[in-house]
């Protein structure tokens, strides 16, 4: 990952480096910063050693908004529920199409099954 250093200040883009460098009257330098944990720790330790023992850490210009937002991983149960819901929607569409395309005897049989299912719901609601 590239960061840009102006004296003891780091910024995230070349545009910020140019403006900050111009405002401070100092040149800016591109600095490669590792993104893996071990490399990042080594880089931070090197920067601390460069500043000298007991020195305050260099200020970092944080962007106004986070560079990225992490989201928690999706649980397997949520994935399963989503897949089940997708299958239900596909089945609902299939049933609706079946009703729309049904001839009279098939439509009558479907209506009979729907009536019985609605009665089951009504009985369950009363209980």
pLDDT in tens, 66-89: 555 666 777 788 878 888 877 877
**63 is a domain residue:** no
**58 is a domain residue:** no
Please give the angle made by the CA atoms of 27, 32 and 63, to the nearest 5 degrees: 70
Side-chain-side CA neighbours of residue 95 (13 Å): 11
Contact between 4 and 14 (Cβ < 8 Å): yes
**59 is a domain residue:** no
Region of 7 (left: φ > 0; alpha: ψ -120 to 50; beta: rest) is left
**42 is a domain residue:** yes
pLDDT band at 46, cuts 50/70/90?
A: confident
End-to-end CA distance of the chain: 63
Residues 8, 47 within the same domain: yes
CA 33 – CA 12 distance, rounded (Å): 11
- Tell me the per-residue pLDDT of 17-34, one tens digit each, with 9 for 90 and over: 888 888 888 888 888 888
Q: Is the dihedral of CA 18, 23, 28, 33 positive or negative?
A: negative
Residues 80, 41 within the same domain: no
pTM of the model: 0.37
**10 is a domain residue:** yes
Q: Domain span at residue 93?
A: 76-126
Please state the domain count of the chain: 2
């Amino acid at each position: 990952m590239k960061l840009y250093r102006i004296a003891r200040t780091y910024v995230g883009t070349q545009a910020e480096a140019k403006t900050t460098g111009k405002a401070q009257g100092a040149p800016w330098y591109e600095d490669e910063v590792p993104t893996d944990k071990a490399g990042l720790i080594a880089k931070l330790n090197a920067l601390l050693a460069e500043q000298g023992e007991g020195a305050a850490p260099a200020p970092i210009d944080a962007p106004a908004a986070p560079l990225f937002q992490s989201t928690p991983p999706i649980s397997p149960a949520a994935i399963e529920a989503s897949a089940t819901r997708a299958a239900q929607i596909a089945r609902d569409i299939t049933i609706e199409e079946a009703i729309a395309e049904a001839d009279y005897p098939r439509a009558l049989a479907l209506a009979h099954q729907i009536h019985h299912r609605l009665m089951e719901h009504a009985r369950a609601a009363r209980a």
